[in-house]
Amino acid sequence: MSDKLKDIISKQGEQQEQESVVGQLDDVVQLVGFMIGDEEYAVPILSIQEIIKPFSWTRVPQVPSYVMGVFNLRGAVIPLIDLRAKFGLQTKKQSEDTRFIVMRHGDDVAGFVIDRLTMAIRIKKENIGPAPDTVSGDDTIIDGVGKQADKIITILKVNKLLERDF
Amino acid sequence: MDEFQEILQDFLVESFELVEKLDEDLVELESNPEDLELLNGIFRVAHTVKGASSFLNFDVLTHLTHHMEDVLNRARHGELVITPDIMDVILESVDLMKQLLEQIRDTSSDGGIDVSACVARLDKITGGSGEVETPVVAAPEEKSTEETAVEEESAAADDEDEIDYENMSPEEVEAEIERLLAQRQEEDRKKREAKIAAGEEVPQMPNPDAEESKEEKKEAPKETSAPAPTPAPAKQVKKEAPKAAAPARKTPAQVEQTIRVDVKRLDHLMNLIGELVLAKNRLIKINDDVEERYEGEEFLEELNQVVSIVSLVTTDLQIAVMKTRMLPIGKVFNKFPRMIRDLSRELNKKIELVISGEDTELDKSIVEEIGDPLVHIIRNSCDHGIESPEERALKGKPEMGTIALKAYNEGNQIVIQIDDDGKGLDPDMLKSKSLEKGIITEKEADTMSDKDAFALIFKPGFSTAAQVTNVSGRGVGMDVVKTNIEKLNGMIDIDSEVGKGTTIKLKIPLTLAIIQALLVGVQEEHYAIPLASVLETVRISKDEIYTVEGKSVMRLRDDVLSLVHIGDIFEVERILDASEHAYVVVLGLGTSKLGLIVDTLVGQEEIVIKSLGDYLKGIEGIAGATIRGDGGVTLIVDVVALMDIAKNVKVTSMTETQEGVASKEKTQASDYVVMIVDDSKTDRTIMRKALEPMGVTLVEAGDGQEALGILKSGDYNFDAMLIDIEMPRMDGYTLASEIKKYNRYKNLPLIAVTSRTSKSDRMRGVESGMVEYITKPYSADYLASVVQRNVNFKAEFL
């Protein structure tokens, strides 16, 4: 077993220990973090149906540029949305790290293109602050801001992401 | 409570079925008042509903049906002749009964609907004073159930004369019940004995008590709905018995052979079949690929067999499941005799409805949707088509106007045809009317054929009636009919002759979920067009396209066809070279036609329609999506919407010259880019060594997949490719044919470099699109010269 692997396993062990302490408290939120541009975002783990590697999709006419089209997820036709474009960033070529995150809220399902996955995060509710005043309100897609030791993570509202806004 | 709900459900299902039949029978009864068989049938329906509703404590319904039953009973015994006036009251009461049933279905109670007026009239017919108390609160339960028992008994044993239970004292009722129960039990015992004698096992019934009488009541309505098994009264026996016997034999057989299935389950099954059809398409595609690659191998035959069996069975399965969802169109047609009857009385016209082909079957979802358009068309025929009796007499036509409603199969479609022998449509009148309303221009009117003129009645804002009547007009015109039919992927065809009548044909696909489609390609994209809307396809060269008033048109035989490029409608990016030729798919909807220009015709395929979901719904021109054999998604064109969009698309940009993609001016030798595809590093190095002296840029790929990936990424503009044939993952032939699928690379020179030397290999190379065939070993100079020739290498760089 390589040292690297050992390292990872021991790290995981540590994290699990930490998590088990955190996990005993009820007010913990589990999130999945991902990168879009230079920012880290997260959505609740339970709203994610699956995370898949990119594959081919079909363009759909007469939609905003951030709607890339539709793709076939085991027989279901699902819209594909480029979060870079949606957040007003330059589109860039898909790379090795690019993933489609399929999110579900009620009956609404859509795939979102993200630049890179980071990690699954457990975070205490008390460490989640409200969205900044400038973007708060019902219309924002930001649910809150999660504070972690070394960084902050923007938590997104899945229902807003899945809402048609054109 | 659950048990009650269950009984209630059974009651409702049964009652609605009975009532539906009732309408039909009643209208027939009016023309055949002597038909005892019919009268008996109608009477039994009223009776059954009454019995069951009183058991379930729906007093208002019981009250109403009781009086209906009274009237019908008298008619049945010949004491009353059914006149149109009496019929009106009866029909009104049937309507009330329907309303009550619907009320019960929705709220589980029958309150809130006033039946007293109708009951009073019914009562008058039977000779009563018309002053009848309408029950408002529930009668004591015991009494009502007992009464039911009595009613059922008397129905089951049809030889009883109707006894007026209302006027009996409670003691008399008790006595009557006792008597009837005893009689019934006697019958039951006899039946049981008969069954035992026949060797059947019969559970021993407990002694007669309240429980049992309840049981019987539940059974009774079913029994009465079929002709009573006990001997009919002597005076009727001659007439009724032989006729009654037939349905009696038929009914139990039907009951055993059908089961009720939740529609959701069928829908689910249909979805699964849809998946299977997709998988089948995929399997066929893979089979084709394998066949190409391993030509002549023995296992191919076996694979072929399996694939064809799977595809055959899938098709059969699909048809079978589709059939389970089929309903006879008679279900819709049933309500029309009644409607025509009401209309003809209202309009003071004499109209006869002739229905045929009511057994023709259609998908349930279509049957549900087709009702309203048909009502509209038939109302129109009655109101505007058929003339008044006086007018008809003047014209020498029979006073009785005829509307024929007919359904039949035609290929993959169902045709519903509505003929009337009324005054017909006058094309000139239609044109002047449309001119008046500004629907068409004078110029259009002049060039319009009669057929196009008839189609004007489907234009929004058109109504031929001088004034809007209660019957056909509610502000909405036939355009709603058209939209509804087109929603079902159907078409309307209309034909008419002045003075002779009008024929309207609705052509509707058998099912909505799976359709035949024509797949077309534009640039790198594919679209599916429902084949039902495709009239023909033609191949044209670009100079056959003319521009008239800013629109593209072409001449198709004797007609001028307006054209629109599919790329203009779906905003397809024009990155690829458009070839000299194009295909025109002629779309037809009703009488309007449109030519859709596409780059390629891919072929015909059976596709399963899938919705794009809430997020993408309502995209103009797209009806849905389907999943193809290769797992990709293809969008389905909404022909109706497309025709609308096309009106606003000005001249197609098809003739625009494309610029700059491949034809960049070469200013130095390294502007030439050549890709080397070979799985052997040594071979790649040999080729590199041979070409490096030229100074061109070289890109290497280890196999076909990799090469295709590099091509697709668009990082380089290649001028030529050197391709080895024998490679893992994707061989040279496959790679070449894949590359040729992209319009952009249609003219990219592909040079095979291989040790395969046989003639058939060369042939395959040519077939897959290779322009040169170099066999190993080769000299470096030869390779370089071949490459130079193919990339049009400029001499000054040498």
**CA pair distance B586, B580, nearest whole angstrom:** 19
**Local mean pLDDT, 10-residue blocks, chain B (798 residues):** 69 78 76 75 78 76 80 77 78 81 78 76 71 47 41 43 55 68 70 56 45 44 42 42 41 56 81 81 85 81 89 85 81 85 84 87 82 84 84 85 86 82 84 80 79 79 54 58 78 84 84 80 87 88 80 83 85 67 84 85 84 80 83 86 77 45 62 85 85 84 84 80 84 82 76 81 81 82 84 73
How many separate domains does chain A show? Answer: 1
Residue A56 within any structural domain of the chain: yes
Residue of B nearest to A64 (CA): B616
Last residue of a domain, one of B480, B509, B538: B509
Judge whether B571 is closer than 8 Å to chain A, CB to CB: yes
Domain housing A71: 3-161
Output the furthest CA–CA distance in chain B (Å, rounded): 126
Which residue matches tokens 């009956």? A107
pLDDT of A32 higher than 80: yes
User: Within a domain: residue B664?
Assistant: no
3-state helix, strand, coil in chain A (%, to 5): 25, 45, 35
- The CA distances from residue B529 to B359, B587, B640, in Å, are 31, 9, 11
Contacts of residues B578-583 at CB distance under 8 Å and 24 or more positions apart, as own/partner, are B578/B654, B578/B658, B578/B743, B579/B743, B579/B746, B580/B541, B580/B542, B581/B539, B581/B540, B581/B541, B581/B542, B582/B539, B582/B540, B582/B541, B582/B542, B582/B654, B583/B520, B583/B537, B583/B538, B583/B539, B583/B540
Whether B47 sits among the annotated catalytic residues: the reply is: yes
B625/A75 CB distance under 8 A: no
Partners of A93 on chain B (C-beta within 8 Å) are 713
**From the candidates B69, B146, B151, B153, which is the catalytic residue?**
B69
Q: What is the pLDDT of residue B724?
A: 86
Whether B611 and chain A come into contact, CB under 8 Å, resolves to yes
Instruction: Indicate the pairing of strand A39-44 with strand B720-723.
Output: unpaired
Of the three residues B172, B207, B225, the one that is the final residue of a domain is B225
Does the pLDDT at position A65 exceed 70?
yes
Could you give the number of structural domains in chain B?
A: 7
How far apart, in whole angstroms, are the C-alpha atoms of residue B320 and residue B301?
A: 28
| Residues in Cβ contact with A42 at an 8 Å cutoff, skipping those fewer than 6 apart | A31, A32, A33, A34, A121, A146, A153, A154, A155, A156
Sheet holding A67-73, edge to edge: A48-52, A99-105, A108-114, A76-82, A67-73
B171 occurs within a structural domain: yes
Q: Which of B593, B626, B655 is the last residue of a domain?
A: B655
Q: Is residue B661 part of a domain?
A: no
Measure A61 CA to nearest chain B CA, in Å.
Answer: 5
Q: Which long-range contacts (CB under 8 A, 24 or more apart) does B760-769 make?
A: B761/B725, B764/B733, B765/B725, B765/B732, B765/B733, B765/B736, B767/B733, B768/B732, B768/B733, B768/B734, B768/B736, B768/B737, B768/B740, B769/B736, B769/B737, B769/B739, B769/B740
How far apart CA B576 and CA B355 sit, in angstroms, is 56
Distance CA B134, CA B137 (A): 9
Q: Is residue A106 part of a domain?
A: yes
Q: CA-to-CA distance for B265 and B281, rounded, in angstroms? A: 24
Chain B hits for A76, Cβ within 8 Å: 610
Q: What is the CATH number of the domain that holds A63?
A: 2.40.50.180
Residues B641 and B689 in one domain: no
CA distance B787 to A158: 55
Neighbouring C-beta atoms of residue B516, cutoff 10 Å = 15
Task: Tell whether B342 and B468 lie within a shared domain.
Answer: yes
Is B489 considered catalytic here?
A: no
What is the SS3 assignment for A162? Answer: coil
> Structural domain of residue B630, as residue ranges?
515-655
B622 to chain A: which residues are within 8 Å by CB?
A: 60-61
Cβ atoms A59, A150 nearer than 8 A: no
Whichever domain contains B298, its CATH number is 1.10.287
How far is the CA of B535 from the CAs of B241, B588, B606, in angstroms? 57, 6, 17
Beta strands in B498-618 (DSSP E): 501-509, 514-522, 525-530, 534-541, 545-548, 551-556, 559-565, 581-589, 592-598, 600-608
Closest Cα in chain B, distance from residue A110 (Å):
8
Q: Do B611 and B550 share a structural domain?
A: yes
Average pLDDT over residues A124-146: 77
CA-only gyration radius of chain B, Å? 38
**Residues B373 and B454 reside in one and the same domain:** yes
Question: Are both B735 and B634 inside the same structural domain?
Answer: no
Q: Identity (one letter) of the amino acid at A96?
A: E
pLDDT at B452: 79
Which residue bears the tokens 């009781």?
Answer: B66
The CA-atom distances, in angstroms, between B276 and each of A48, B283, B285, B286, B610 are 27, 10, 14, 15, 14
Give me the residue from A56, A70, A93 closest to B616, CB to CB: A70
Give dist(CA B325, CA B271) in Å, integer. 12
Asked whether residue B26 is assigned to any structural domain, the reply reads yes
How far does A13 lie from chain B, in Å, by closest CA? 40
- B470 & B497 share domain: yes
Are B502 and B631 members of one domain? no
Nearest CA-CA partner of B119 in B176, B71, B187, B158 = B71
Q: What pLDDT, on a 0 to 100 scale, did the predictor assign at position B129?
A: 58
Question: Could you say which DSSP state residue B665 is in?
Answer: P
Inter-axis angle of helices B2-31 and B84-107, nearest 10: 160
Regarding whether B711 and B646 lie in a shared domain, the answer is no
Tokens of B193: 């004995």
Residue A166 is assigned to a structural domain of this protein: no
The whole-number pLDDT of residue A102 equals 92
Is A12 part of any domain? yes
Residues B339 and B299 in one domain: no
> Which is higher by pLDDT, A3 or B587?
B587
What Cα–Cα distance (Å) separates residue B180 from each residue in B62, B66, B147, B186, B489? 21, 20, 11, 10, 59
Return the exposure string of B518-544: e unless at least 16 CB atoms fall within 10 Å of the residue's CB, then b: bbbbbbbbbbbbbbbbbeebeebeeeb
Same domain for B382 and B300: no
Q: In CATH, what number is assigned to the domain containing residue B2?
A: 1.20.120.160
**CB pairs < 8 Å spanning A and B:** 67
CA atoms in the 13 A half-sphere facing the CB of A96: 0
The answer on B220 and B230 residing in a single domain is no
B380 is catalytic: yes
Nearest alpha carbon to residue B580 among B650, B518, B657: B657
Q: How does the average pLDDT of chain A come out, rounded?
A: 82
A-chain CB neighbours of B278 within 8 Å are: 75
Q: Which helix (H) or strand (E) holds A26?
A: none
Backbone angles phi, psi at A95, to 5 degrees: -120, -170
